[in-house]
Amino acid sequence: MERPNAWKTYNKTDLKKVDLLAERYKDFLNRGKTERECVNYIVDALEKKGYLSLEKAVHEKKKLKSGDKVYLNQMNKAVVAFHIGKHPLEAGMNIVGAHIDSPRVDLKQNPFYEDADFALADTHYYGGIKKYQWVARQMALHGVVVRKDGTMINICIGEKDDDPVVGISDLLVHLSQDQASKKLSEAITGENLDIILAGKPLEEEEKEPVKAQLLRILKDEYGIEEEDMLSAEIEAVPAEKARDFGLDRSMIIGYGHDDRSCAFAELDALLSLPSIPEFTCCGMLVDKEEIGSVGATGMRARYLENALAEIANLMGQYSELTVRRALQNSRMLSCDVSAGFDPLYASAFEKKNAAFLGRGVCYNKFTGTRGKSGSNDANAEFIGKVRRIMDDCKVSWQTAELGRVDQGGGGTIAYICALYGMEVIDSGVAVLNMHAPMEIISKADLYEADKAYRAFMLNA
Ligand code: MN
Ligand code: MN
C-alpha cells in the first residue's frame, strides 16, 4: 500500500519539465502575495489564452458555444473560468477549485499610533497562525487604499531589493523569563502583533512627531490621508521571495503554498486544454477559504451558480433546471494543500495515512475535525473513478488524512460545492510547516498536481 516516490519515475525530459514548472511557479508566488495580486496574474494569463470577461460577454449579449472560454472576476478577489465543452451543460462540468487567500497579518481600519518614538500599526491576523512565527522577521506591505472619490492606490512596499521592509518585534531572550513560561499559544498575543513602521520624528512637530513622519511619507509618496485607511485593505506578508530549498533543489520554500501551489497547478492545467474539451471545464480560484469561505468572494457566495446561469443563457440553454442539473452532475477536485509528514513531529501523524513530500498529488477522502466533523467525505464510487483516471494518465498520487485522529484538523471548500449534490474529493500538494510565514513543498508534487488536474478535466 505504500506509494512510490515520484522522483524515481522521472527521466531527463520529465526532470526538465519539473524544473521549468517550478521556475514559473516561483514567479507566480513572488507576484501574487495577496488574493488581489493573484487575480491580476490569473486574469492576465486567461486573457492571453483567449478567455473573455463574462461581464463583457453578458453586456454585449455574445452568443456562446462549445470551445468558447469565459471568466468571471468576482470583486478582484476570486476568479471562475469556464472552457465550454462538447457536451451540453446539463451533463455537468469537470471542476477544479483552489483558494488564493493565505494566512497573513492585516492592518486595522484605524491602525496608526506612536509609542516610545516608534510609529506602529495595529493589526488583526487573518487565518489560523502560530503567532510566534510572525515576529522578528522582514515583512512587506501589500494592498489597496480606496479614497472617498473611488480612486484606488495600490500599495506594494518591501518587495524590491532596495525597498524598506517592516516587521513585528519580539522580546529579547534575556528578559523573557515570564514569556518563556507561558503556553506557546499565549506567549505572543494577537493585540501585540503590531508592526513597526517608522522611528524618526518629523522636524518642528510637537505632538506625535514620529507618527507625523509616517503620515507625511504616506501623503507625499502615495497621496494617502490617514482617514483613507478607513477604506483600505493592507496585508503584511513575508518579504522574502520563493526560492529553492534543499541542496538538491528538490523543494521550494515560499510564502503562500497554501493554497497557491494548487491554484497555480490548476490554472496551468486549465490553460493547456484542447480547443474543445469533452465536458465543460471550470477552474475556480476563490478567496476567504482561510476564514471559513465567507463573504461575497468566498466559496459560500453564489457566484459559481450565477456565472453558470449567465453562460447557459448566452448559450440559449438557460432554465433553472439546466443550471441545477449542470451543478448536480458535475465532478470536482477541491484542490487544497495537505499536511506533509514531518519526521520531527511524527507523533502528530499516522504514518500509513500521511502525505509524504515527493510522493505525488495527494487525495483526502475526508478532512474535518474530531469524528470527521465539517468534512465532505468523498464517495468510494467517485474515488474509484479518480484512481482509474490517475493511473491511466500515469500520475503519481497518494492518499492521506490530516494527521492523527483527534489531533486537530481542518477544512476546505469541498463541502460547500458538495451542497449542489456533485461528486467532490479533496486533492492537493503536501506542505511542510503549513501556515508558517514560509512553507515548503516538493517540486515533484507540484508537477504531479499539474498533471492530475489536467487529467481530471479531460477524463472525469
Ligand atoms: Mn488551504
Ligand atoms: Mn490553510
Ligand 1 center–CA 258 separation, angstroms: 5
Q: Which residues surround ligand 2, an ion (CB under 5 A)?
A: 258
Ligand 2 center–CA 323 separation, angstroms: 30
Determine the pLDDT at residue 14. 98
Nearest Cα residue to 420 out of 286, 335, 299, 337 = 299
* Number of the ligand closest to the Cα of 97: 1
* Number of the ligand closest to the Cα of 260: 1
* Number of the ligand closest to the Cα of 100: 1
Nearest Cα residue to 121 out of 134, 104, 108 = 108
Ligand 1 center–CA 288 separation, angstroms: 10
Ligand 2 center–CA 224 separation, angstroms: 32
Ligand 2 center–CA 409 separation, angstroms: 11
3-state helix, strand, coil in the chain (%, to 5): 35, 25, 40
* Number of the ligand closest to the Cα of 436: 2
Residues 6 or more apart in contact with residue 209 via CB below 8 angstroms:
114, 201, 202, 203
* Number of the ligand closest to the Cα of 433: 2
- In b/e form, how buried is each residue of 379-415, taking b as 16+ CB within 10 angstroms? eeebeebbeebbeeeebbbbbbbbbeeeeebbbbbbb
How far apart, in whole angstroms, are the C-alpha atoms of residue 412 and residue 228? 34
Cis omega (within 30 of 0) on the bond before 258? no
Ligand 1 center–CA 366 separation, angstroms: 14
Task: Please say whether the beta carbons of 234 and 106 come within 8 A.
Answer: yes
Ligand 1 center–CA 116 separation, angstroms: 39
| Residue in this structure with the C-alpha cell 474535518, named with its chain if needed | 368
Ligand 1 center–CA 415 separation, angstroms: 14
Ligand 2 center–CA 395 separation, angstroms: 24
Total number of residues shown for the chain: 460
Ligand 2 center–CA 239 separation, angstroms: 19
Task: Please say whether the beta carbons of 122 and 111 come within 8 A.
Answer: yes
Task: Please say whether the beta carbons of 428 and 449 come within 8 A.
Answer: yes
Determine the pLDDT at residue 201. 97
Q: Per residue of the chain (460 residues), what is the pLDDT tens digit?
A: 889 999 999 999 999 999 999 999 999 999 999 999 999 999 999 999 999 999 999 999 999 999 999 999 999 999 999 999 999 999 999 999 999 999 999 999 999 999 999 999 999 999 999 999 999 999 999 999 999 999 999 999 999 999 999 999 999 999 999 999 999 999 999 999 999 999 999 998 899 999 999 999 999 999 999 999 999 999 999 999 999 999 999 999 999 999 999 999 999 999 999 999 999 999 999 999 999 999 999 999 999 999 999 999 999 999 999 999 999 999 999 999 999 999 999 999 999 999 999 999 999 999 999 999 988 899 999 999 999 999 999 999 999 998 899 888 888 999 999 999 999 999 999 999 999 999 999 999 999 999 999 999 999 9
Ligand 1 center–CA 34 separation, angstroms: 14
Ligand 1 center–CA 341 separation, angstroms: 16
Ligand 2 center–CA 200 separation, angstroms: 38
Distance linking the first and last C-alpha atoms of the chain? 24
Ligand 1 center–CA 259 separation, angstroms: 5
Give me the amino acid identity at 350. E
DSSP state, residue 166: B
* Number of the ligand closest to the Cα of 364: 1
How far apart, in whole angstroms, are the C-alpha atoms of residue 282 and residue 69? 10
Cα atoms in the 13 Å half-sphere on the side-chain side of 315: 28
How far apart, in whole angstroms, are the C-alpha atoms of residue 346 and residue 351? 8
Determine the pLDDT at residue 269. 98
Ligand 2 center–CA 290 separation, angstroms: 5
| DSSP conformation letters of 270-324 | HTTS-SS-SSEEEEEEEB-GGGTS-STTBTTSSHHHHHHHHHHHHTT---HHHHH
Ligand 1 center–CA 337 separation, angstroms: 5
State the Rg of the chain over Cα. 23
How far apart, in whole angstroms, are the C-alpha atoms of residue 295 and residue 298? 5
Q: Which three cell numbers stand for residue 89?
A: 451543460
DSSP state, residue 167: B
Ligand 1 center–CA 335 separation, angstroms: 8
How far apart, in whole angstroms, are the C-alpha atoms of residue 189 and residue 197? 19
Determine the pLDDT at residue 444. 98
Ligand 1 center–CA 289 separation, angstroms: 7
All domains in the chain, ordered by first residue? 6-102+255-459 (3.40.630.10), 104-238 (2.30.250.10)
Ligand 1 center–CA 278 separation, angstroms: 29
| DSSP conformation letters of 341-381 | --GGGGGGS-GGG-B-TTS-EEEES--EETTTBT-----HH
Ligand 2 center–CA 305 separation, angstroms: 24
DSSP-derived 3-state class of residue 196: strand
Ligand 2 center–CA 281 separation, angstroms: 25
Ligand 1 center–CA 134 separation, angstroms: 18
Determine the pLDDT at residue 411. 87
